[in-house]
Structure formats: C-alpha cells, structure tokens
Amino acid sequence: MLKQRVITAIVLALLAVLALFKSTDIVWQWVVLLIGAVMAWEWAGLARLTSIWQKATFSVLVSVLSWLGLVWISFQSIVVLTLIEALLLVFIVLRYQKSQGKNGPTSLVFILMTGVLSVVLFTSALTHFRNEFSPQVVLLSLFIIWAVDTGAYFSGKRFGKTKLAPHVSPGKTWEGVWGGVALAFVISLMGVMWLQVELTISIWFFTILLAAIALFSVLGDLFESVLKRQAGLKDSGTIFPGHGGILDRADSLLIAVPMMYVLWHLGSVY
C-alpha cells in the first residue's frame, strides 16, 4: 500500500509540474476547471447523492459557476470568501469534535452549498495564483502543502501519541502536525533555492505564510474527515491507486490554496 501511495504521489507531482510550467494560461484554466469538476462529483458523493445523474448535475453546475468565477470573482472577493470559508470550516470541525461526533452537518443543501463555495473559490484562486505569480511560486506553495501532509503522516505514524481531534480523525496527532510543519519548513528552504524563487515578501511574512499553510492544510483535512464520517465513507473516490479520490489528496488544498494566494498577494503589495 505504501509503495502504491508513493508511486501515485510521484506521478501526481510530475503532472502538476508539467501543467504549471508547460501549459498556456488557457490550458491551465481548463486543467483547473477539470480538477474542480471531479472534486464536485466526489463532493456530491460525500453529500450522499447516489445516482450518476445527480452527481453529474452537481458537477456541471459547479463547473459553470467556477468558469463564471474566473471572470467575475475579484481579488477582494477571494479575500472575503476565504475568510468566510475558513470560519465556517473551523466552526464545523470544532462543533463536531466538541459534540463527540454527534453534531455534524446533516443538511443536504448546506453540504452542497459548502461544496460550491469551496470548489469555486479553489478554482478561482488557483487559476489567478498561477497567472499573477510565477509557476515556481505556485509549485513551491504546493510542495509546502504536500510536505505538511507527508510529514504529518510519517511523524504521526512514528511518534504520534497526543490525539489532535479524536472524534474527527482518530489517526491524526499533534506530533504529526509538528512533524508536518518541520518538513514544510525544510522543503520551503530547499524549494526557494532549487526553484530559484525570488521572494517578494519579507522573511517574517514568509514565516506567517508557512504557519498559515500548515494550519489551513490541517483544517481542510479535518473538514473532509467530518464529511466522510457523516457519509460513512472511507475515501471520497477511487480515482488514485492507494490514495482514494481527488478530494482525499486535495482536501488540504481547498482552503490552503486560496489562503496562500491571498497572503502572497498581500505580502508582495505591502
């Protein structure tokens, strides 16, 4: 299983590099919209929609809204929507944990609307991120998020003792979180040198960026865990061997990418 996970992760990383550095702005836009469409399909499953027609309808609707979002959603709107989504996710995760897994989101409309917000915001932020900054900056940011996930997984397996949110995700520990943060810090230093990223933000702001990425990566992961528990699912899908669905790999990206885009933008301006 671990070997399969590693191979899949390497293939996904190579595809991300190829898309970031070799595609035109239009091609990148359609790649992101395709990812968003698959996310929406899987989100419909987490909302316990079972028929192909229902999932397809939701996926198409979200895709259309995502496409419109690329045109109509401004940077200021992304800032506001990111804050709204962050507060919403924090509320849901804390409420679920405090109630010992009894008070999760049960409304179909609420879950689907949260999915619309998350996917549309993600696709808009990721598209603008690559268009306004260099591919190196975007790749560095993605590497940092993946480092948080990877470091948390392995350090949690090896050293994990103190549960992070046992009613949300019993396998996640504080030791894993700190291991993820440590690996993200190392990867960020290596990435800046290897990718030759010219930092347009101060070192202090970059430190804030790292902390925010780690925090919101974990938040996105925990939120998807709540949805999967509510739906009685282990994985959001089966598209990736050893990894489950695209949401299982991108749950941490959903809120972390918009937050990254906002912070990079603010840091480069101020």
Residues 106 and 230: their CA atoms lie apart, in Å, by 7
Residue type, 169: S
Segment 126-181, tens digit of pLDDT: 999 998 888 888 888 888 888 888 888 889 888 888 999 998 988 889 999 999 98
Task: Collect all residues with Cβ–Cβ distance below 8 Å to 201 and sequence separation of at least 6.
Answer: 209, 264, 267, 268
Q: Which pLDDT band, with edges at 50, 70 and 90, does 269 fall under?
A: low
Residues 164 and 173 sit within 8 Å (Cβ to Cβ):
yes
pTM assigned to the model:
0.90
Closest CA to 130 of 30, 12, 255, 248: 30
Q: Determine the average pLDDT of the residues in 31-42.
A: 93
Residue 195 has pLDDT above 90, yes or no: no
Residue 5 has pLDDT above 80, yes or no: no
Segment 201-221, tens digit of pLDDT: 667 777 777 888 888 888 999
pLDDT at 198: 62
Q: Which pLDDT band, with edges at 50, 70 and 90, does 63 fall under?
A: very high
Better-scored residue on pLDDT, 211 or 118: 118
| Count of domains observed in the chain | 1
Lowest mean pLDDT among 59-63, 130-134, 237-241: 237-241
Q: CA separation (Å) from 109 to 104, 106, 121, 169?
A: 14, 9, 18, 24
Residues 69 and 259 sit within 8 Å (Cβ to Cβ):
no
Domain extent, residue 152, equals: 2-269
Q: Which pLDDT band, with edges at 50, 70 and 90, does 69 fall under?
A: very high
> Helices marked H in the chain — which ranges?
2-22, 25-46, 52-72, 75-98, 108-132, 135-159, 174-194, 203-231, 246-269
Residues 78 and 258 sit within 8 Å (Cβ to Cβ):
yes
Q: Which pLDDT band, with edges at 50, 70 and 90, does 192 fall under?
A: confident
Residue 113 has pLDDT above 90, yes or no: yes
Average pLDDT, the chain: 86
Helix (H) or strand (E) holding 164: strand 163-165
